Structure 1
Amino acid sequence: MTMATGVNSSTAQPRGPIFLNKHAILDALAGRGRMFPVIIALLLIWAYFYWANPLFLSPRNLSNLSLQIVVTGTLALGLLFVLVIGEIDLSVAALGAVSAAVAAGLAVNSGYDTTVAVLAGLCVGAVLGAFQGLVVTYFRAPAFIVTLGMSMVLQGTLLDLLPPGSNLISLVGQPMGKVATVYLPAWASYSLLLGVLIVFAGLCIQTHRGRTARSIASSFNTRVVVPVVAIALLGILTVFV
């Protein structure tokens, strides 16, 4: 009697170029190429808005977009570290609003210098954020509950900090309001861009060397060249005002 050694066709994995290519693409998108879909989507969005209005990619508009995303981008960078360790922060929006209200109130209503007011707002945000971190770390309280409760408290505090009725602190004509409308000279813009590129390139090279030393797959072009060139191009477009 002979025993069948073949593999059941219903359970066998498909073979051939299509199967290999499909999994190769999925592996690439989940590995080194995971940023490509995001970049492609961003380029398509930019291309559409440029087609709708050629002024979209003008230096002035890119500069305005950079100013508009400062708040969201800064909050996202801080929240990144929380998400990396598997936690969550539901108070980030309310905390940012309270810090901004403290800074604006000191500068407009109390007449403090803009630098002092901004530093005070940053200190308020740092202290409240550190307090939540201590509660979560040392008392093992769920971050979801702690930050949700703090968000509610801060929302009530914000109502007390803002003027009744309008709930708005106007920065029109105030020194703090002029910060976002003052542009650096060309030489200062390029110097700042060059400094940022040097620091960013150094961090990318250090990361690449660290991964290589630990025998972790790392491509110099992917880890260093592409990010630095992308930041350089975006910076050049932004400083051409």
Structure 2
Amino acid sequence: MDQKKLYGRWNFWEEFVGYPMMIFYWIKGEKISKMLVKRIEKVKQKSSQISLTDKRRNEFLIRYEKLDNFFSLHFKNIDASRNHNFEEKIEYCLEQYRKESTSLITSSNLMKLQGNFLNGAEATLFLYFALESKTKREIRLSDIMIGENSSEIFIDFLKDKKFIDENHNLIVDQKSSFIRIHRFLKDNHIINPDFQDTTIIEAMENEYNSNFDKGTFSRSITVKPNDFEETIYQELSKLFNIKH
């Protein structure tokens, strides 16, 4: 980000205001992370009350793309990756703030950075939450699985078996076995059998950040399960009360 745009022109008299404020935050003020949490809670509540028409959605998208502040710069960069959850994205932005703040030698610039960061976070995350919940939602396992908390139980199972990592990324090479496990759940009505394979593939791709082409999917479900898969089926049967 342009340093002149962030900090503006330095004036020595600003230090008379900056130092007392900086000392106040050091002694009685809240940490930047706590102040950020309050801003996040505020915009979550505010964005949940927004009703997006097509016209307003497009306006929000344009505003989001044009955001130019310290927070938005780093948040949008890491948001482009699907390997991080929201909490990790926020921690990344805080880390960039800490790095920048330690390089500053004037109190006035430190206060400007703090204001830019918090106000930028509020503006950025308001649009992010409004757009994410209403225009960017993708079909996930929770949309195709039957039963309360079934998707959460299944995700925890896959993590425990090292099929996926903490961010739900697929980390096994044998996609065929992975596909057959989902087919097993569909055959036993844990995954809703009314959904077509194409919909299940889409949900899997969104959930596990991986590609499952239709040809591989079709071939995989015709193959007889191996001993390892049978063991997985037995464990899933106990987990979901399936008669297998």
Same topology, TM > 0.5: no
